[in-house]
Amino acid sequence: MTFKEALDSQDFVITCEVAPPKGTNMEHVLEEAELLRGRVAGINVTDLQAASMRVSSLATCALLKQKGLEPILQMVCRDRNRLALQSELLSAYVLGIQNVLCLTGDHVVLGDHPESKPVFDLDSVSLLQTAQGLIDGHDLSGNELEGLPEDLFLGAIVTPGADPVEPQIYKLHNKVRAGAKFIQTQAVYDVDTFATFMQRVADVEVPILAGIVLLKSAGMARYMNANVAGVFVPDSLIKEMTGAGEKDKSARAEGKKADFRTKTSIDIAARLIRDLKPHCAGVHLMPLGWGHHVPAVLEAAGL
């Protein structure tokens, strides 16, 4: 079943993110993706995540496709002009990759090559419009195409926890009008805030998948609260992670093996999935290197 078919079925859909390596050793990312086989409807492949140089999303998606998995190509506007973006969209389609998540992308100053020159010839909305134009049979200059990528399935993101949230709602409507057929969100930890957001965008007639980043520590939660716009981890969850860390520390001091933080992280993610389920079409998991824990999260959530 394709990702589009899974969404069309109106079942609760799970997607998960993997990150290509910084180097040519693809073993880890392929093993992580294999753990997701039969468990998720699509596997997002990040595109130079956090402006850090890595193997391309396109190459990794092609390898996943060869293995019979369902990749979702992430494409950011930061590093390519409109020529390269259109070429990569066509190239993805030629390789059998149909799902594309269109993103503007983090600025290069946040990455490991801050001296590089950002492009941003297009943004996420104009990239969606460009991709829709290719589907309709023409490039950005109006030239007709020889063969159309008519089955491209386009998506975009939204940040439900932004404050103020009105600009995000406005951009969400623009993205849907531009061609987005599915939406994945930035990390959600406050279910009530997300439920209110979903009520405000009830007129959006495309499926929305709530994003969940696996918490690795209380420090990570505090960092996101301080540095990631639109993401808020409630104090109650920070206290849970703090307590788990203290239990791990005590156990190690006694010479015992313990991993309360991991168990707590899995429990929190599973609880969020259960609590978010009535409000959205599915969830998008962002494990940030903890992909091997995703099966446990899904089992704990009853999926």
How do residues 3-26 score in pLDDT, each as one tens digit? Answer: 999 999 989 999 999 999 999 999
pLDDT attached to residue 51: 86
If we measure between CA atoms, which residue out of 206, 224, 193, 238 comes closest to residue 288?
224
In sequence order, what DSSP letters do the residues of 190-239 get, joined into one string?
-HHHHHHHHHHTTT--S-EEEEEEPP--HHHHHHHHHHSTT----HHHHH
| Residue that has been written with the tokens 């969020």 in this structure | 272
d(CA 158, CA 156): 7
pLDDT attached to residue 259: 83
pLDDT at 103 > cutoff 80: yes
Confidence label for 289 from pLDDT (cuts 50, 70 and 90): confident
pLDDT at 55 > cutoff 90: yes
pLDDT attached to residue 154: 98
pLDDT at 136 > cutoff 80: yes
**Which position has the higher pLDDT, 56 or 228?**
56
Full set of structural domains in the chain with CATH: 3-300 (3.20.20.220)
If we measure between CA atoms, which residue out of 257, 270, 215 comes closest to residue 240?
215
pLDDT at 43 > cutoff 80: yes
d(CA 104, CA 82): 13
pLDDT attached to residue 254: 73
d(CA 126, CA 165): 21
pLDDT at 220 > cutoff 80: yes
User: Please, where are the H alpha helices in 95-143?
Assistant: 124-136
d(CA 85, CA 130): 9
pLDDT attached to residue 303: 86
What is the pairing mode between strands 208-213 and 182-187?
parallel
The pTM assigned to this predicted structure is 0.94
